[in-house]
Amino acid sequence: MTVLLTTLWPVFTLIVAGHLMRRRGFPGAGFWPGAEKINYFLLFPALLFSSLAQAPLDNPALPRVLGAVLLGLGVCSVGLAAAWWWRRWPQARFGVLVQGVLRFNTYLGLAVIGSLFGKAGLVLAAVIIAVYVPTVNVLSVLALTAGRGAGARALLLPIVRNPLILSCVAGVAFNLSGLQLQWGADKLLTLLANTSLPLGLLNVGAALNPRELRGEWGALLTNSLSRLVLAPLIAFGCGWLLHLPPLERAILALFFALPTAPTSYVLTRQLNGDSHLMAGIITLQTLLSALSLMAVLVCISMIQS
């Protein structure tokens, strides 16, 4: 319990600090959009590339990890489709609820996993991201455009333009090529990567908007509990079913226990979804995850001990 507390409180302190800084206008309104772009297009891709470029991709558990990721996403997707068939939500609402359950906050996830499991955890997390992110992007676009069709352009553009996916593909390709990071390139990537997570967490806090929590409490709570409680149980069950080692099973469950991604709001606005509901889900899940992540990690440690 002490280890978990010492791991999580610095992470959420940075999120709170980012929120307070934004509210007080420090260092200025123009800082946050620029900081988010730098992190999203440069610093965070550097972290993913460096993790995968030097990763031991011969881990025999990797195929089962990726299978468990897809199985967990499949089970959650079937559940969401069944709920849509029962409730008949319009696509503007259904797409938001899908993103609330399926997408995850990458910055928060890698910060927690890196603190708990070190380099081995970051490598495995980067491999999961390489499969999880493009799959969820496609599912999110499909859900937001259900009933009016989604062309190949709408499905593929969020993937081919996503710097996280591109950096994962580049990192794996570099790794398989047999090349080595030389002449200080590894040190440069390390400097960029070390800057990414603190800045990302500050941006997460800056994006929180408690005013979006007004109304829709039933939908907000149901969606948040589905993401923060039910989804990690499904993921852990998939890991157990495929006989994953304890480390891989814990990281898989942790990914499915993360709050939804703040970038879900951008996609929702682009595809005419219910942006007010999406903003409320992002805010509530992020706030609740301070407690739910602790509970999930405690449960995992008790089950695996």
Average pLDDT value for the chain: 86
Both tokens of 217, joined, read: 């409490």
**Residue, of 79 and 117, whose pLDDT is higher:** 79
Contact 213, 283 (CB under 8 A): yes
pLDDT tens-digit readout, 151-207: 666 666 766 777 878 888 898 889 888 888 888 888 999 899 889 889 988 988 888
Task: Note the pLDDT tens digit of each residue in 272-301.
Answer: 889 889 989 999 999 999 899 989 888 887
The pLDDT tens digits of the residues spanning 199-227 come to: 988 988 888 888 878 777 889 999 999 99
Domains and CATH numbers, the chain: 2-304 (1.20.1530.20)
Give dist(CA 241, CA 244) in Å, integer.
Answer: 8
Residue 273, helix vs strand vs coil: coil
- Going by C-alpha positions, the residue among 69, 108, 299 that lies closest to residue 204 is 108
* Cα–Cα distance measured from residue 116 to residue 94, given in angstroms and rounded to the nearest whole number: 34
SS (H, E, C) 201-234: HHHHHHHCCHHHHCCCHHHHHHHHHHHHHHHHHH
Q: What is the mean pLDDT of residues 57-63?
A: 80
Distance CA 261, CA 114 (A): 18
Residue 68 has a pLDDT of 94
pLDDT at 78 over 90: yes
pLDDT attached to residue 152: 61
